[in-house]
Structure 1
């Protein structure tokens, strides 16, 4: 029997993992610059956590099962709901605003294709208790800062507010279930499907036409004037528009004006309530969206108090693919910098001692663990692409010395055994 990995999953080898760890470390560093602290939630939760208000699309894709006690559980399909649950369990009385970030794998049973997998990774943050639009502005600026730090080019941040469309639907007296269907269609970007759906409704044509025009609006600040003219008689939509204007003012004030107002953003999760945004990299084709987020009321839906919350998550795998597609240079550290090579079996233990001292000094070091002949040791060091080889020979040791070889220049020199750590520390860290 040939064992294969499950469909929709991947194995990551050494080079890819080094790149992923670098990107992960960079994102962690930027999150923490903004005062966010890391949390970790379980891989599986009660099924109801995700079926209550996650949206029909995700509910159908949930990996769910019963444990031996008959409890209905699910592998997490996203991470915002677990964060809300964690807040309700442990942090309701904590001083606000609360800033937290996370990194972890999620699972959805969907058809595997380019950019879509059944196990995937998300890295994101949640800001609970911050007042909008200030909180929303910081969260969006944080997302942009992360991508700029990675050197990703040509990304677009599209920003909208669900309250504008909700205001029109409420004024047109569209039922809540129908609103959910409409928002799901808008989220897919299917204009024709939307108009076909609206044809079968008793809604006035003026509302239908307004919806079609609104979801097609994209641009900079000038778009807001068009929206205001269209919804001036709708107080809810006007309120949402004013929220959006306030958010854009915050972004402009911090020097980030490279955004696109896009009222066709609806997001696939039902718990988003106001500002929403998505980040696109068009070189990825159909899977161009690498991040999404916004303001949500999930905590109140789960039985907590009403508290403003804003967050977003990067599709980590898509960020990696975007960096790959653009050929972005990632300054990866060397895996091994020094190889300690015992010239003969009798100096093997001394080689172990030298390697340990180098590691204690923070220098990534390997030594021979396979009993290779001397020529093969140098070949192995070449394959490892080390900077230096420490040649440990019996005669040199009698003089209290070892030979240090620079693998780039080929030059060799004798170094006192007691000085080898200092010499290599200076050269690898200088």
Structure 2
């Protein structure tokens, strides 16, 4: 028996209904903020991702040469592709651009709970705005997207300026070592790392920075840095929108990629792999041949959100099972077409089962209603509509039956 590839999954109808339900809710929220959906190719030139993340990412990608000898990769993430699309198609468009996407991604890595080789991201990018209001809008959107899914989470918000100020005396290699220790949230490793590079004096102020509970505590460590006013203004805008967040200036998102505000979301029930959102302010367009432009965006790990949620019961529309005899099948098709024309889901027997077996199957299938068309109903031009949740039934015209189902009563 052939098996699915490692790190992939099969989604059967019940699980797909749950996933589409959350996806629809997220799309609705993104659109309520004025964001329009974009879609990019599933595969891109490898260089697109190495320019953004370095040559090391090749080992994590599904990378190959096509029949023309071109180096191609299945996309491991979407931000680079969206910015490439902006450079190719929309540089002259009025700013800012508000885009969102829901896309399939691929990474060649060890599969584990909430981490797969084929996975989905829901993300948003605000391109062409550089202000506290822009930063606050994107963070607020990220919060509302997670909130609408029903997942329990904590949103952490910081800014790289204080950290860059603290590490200004270090070279790029030393900064990466310190950031790696911070990313692991390991203060012992941080102390060892700082001692090894000859800067043990930074340990105490760095710990004070990453554990600061208020902005005043941050400024007590850093002094009046140039970004102070912008950070304070962004936090005020978030508070004005009733966005609950935890201040965290120890977020170790790459200093060579993000340029300002950074934020992360964590589910409370996923163990070590609990990050479900990450984002911040960045500049990428110039790497891909475009003009330099400020951007702010994020991606949500959709699969981790679904794992965190567990089994959910999505809102469902009514389903009508049309039950007929061999002699009334023509009338049954007419009734089915009328229900479907009204946007109502209809199922019909295709196995030549008896009238009673069809009704039994409808009950087992979870259908909301059964539209019974026997010889009497066919002769009278009516149907008997049976509410399978209440065991109530009534004979009526087809038009009335469609109206009753559409309005949820019998």
| TM-score when normalising by structure 1 | 0.89
Matching of residues 219-368 of structure 1 within 5 Å: 219=213, 222=214, 224-232=215-223, 238-256=225-243, 258-267=244-253, 270-324=256-310, 330-334=313-317, 337-342=319-324, 344-368=325-349
SS at match of 2:11: coil
Matching of residues 121-200 of structure 1 within 5 Å: 121-153=120-152, 155-170=153-168, 172=169, 174-200=170-196
1:144-202 per-residue CA deviation (whole Å, 9 max, x = no partner) reads: 2223333333x2111111122222222x1x22243334334422333333333333324
Q: What's the offset of the Cα at 1:212?
A: 4.0
Q: Equivalents in 2 of 1:425, 1:260: separation in Å? A: 45
Q: Equivalents in 2 of 1:315, 1:293: separation in Å? A: 11
1:114-160 per-residue CA deviation (whole Å, 9 max, x = no partner) reads: 1211111100100011232111101111122223333333x211111
Q: Equivalents in 2 of 1:280, 1:59: separation in Å? A: 27
Please say if residues 54 and 269 of structure 1, whose CA atoms lie closer than 8 Å, have aligned partners that are also in contact.
no
Q: Equivalents in 1 of 2:165, 2:44: separation in Å? A: 34
Range moving further from structure 2, 362-371 or 397-406: 397-406
Please say if residues 361 and 421 of structure 1, whose CA atoms lie closer than 8 Å, have aligned partners that are also in contact.
yes
Q: What's the offset of the Cα at 1:367?
A: 1.0
Q: Equivalents in 2 of 1:151, 1:62: separation in Å? A: 31
Please say if residues 122 and 299 of structure 2, whose CA atoms lie closer than 8 Å, have aligned partners that are also in contact.
yes
Please say if residues 195 and 212 of structure 1, whose CA atoms lie closer than 8 Å, have aligned partners that are also in contact.
no
Q: Evaluate the alpha carbon distance shift between residue 381 and residue 3 of structure 1 in structure 2; reply closer, same or farther with a 3 A threshold.
A: same
1:386 equivalent in alignment to 2:384: no
1:243-262 per-residue CA deviation (whole Å, 9 max, x = no partner) reads: 32221111122222x21111
SS at match of 1:278: strand
1:332-379 per-residue CA deviation (whole Å, 9 max, x = no partner) reads: 214x5211011x212222212210111001111111111111221011
Unaligned runs of 5+ in 1: none
Q: What's the offset of the Cα at 1:57?
A: 6.7
SS at match of 1:69: coil
Q: Equivalents in 1 of 2:74, 2:19: separation in Å? A: 23
Q: Equivalents in 1 of 2:256, 2:6: separation in Å? A: 28
Q: Equivalents in 1 of 2:234, 2:397: separation in Å? A: 64
Q: What's the offset of the Cα at 1:314?
A: 0.9
Q: Equivalents in 2 of 1:269, 1:38: separation in Å? A: 29
Q: What's the offset of the Cα at 1:317?
A: 1.0
Please say if residues 290 and 319 of structure 1, whose CA atoms lie closer than 8 Å, have aligned partners that are also in contact.
yes
Give 1:403's match in structure 2, choosing from 384, 399, 404: 384
Please say if residues 107 and 118 of structure 1, whose CA atoms lie closer than 8 Å, have aligned partners that are also in contact.
yes
Residues matched between the structures, number: 410
Please say if residues 212 and 218 of structure 2, whose CA atoms lie closer than 8 Å, have aligned partners that are also in contact.
no
1:258-309 per-residue CA deviation (whole Å, 9 max, x = no partner) reads: 2111122122584211110001122211121111101001123333323221
Matching of residues 206-217 of structure 1 within 5 Å: 206-215=201-210, 217=211
Q: Equivalents in 1 of 2:163, 2:398: separation in Å? A: 74
Q: Equivalents in 1 of 2:239, 2:23: separation in Å? A: 28
Unaligned runs of 5+ in 2: none
Q: What's the offset of the Cα at 1:407?
A: 1.4
SS at match of 1:311: strand
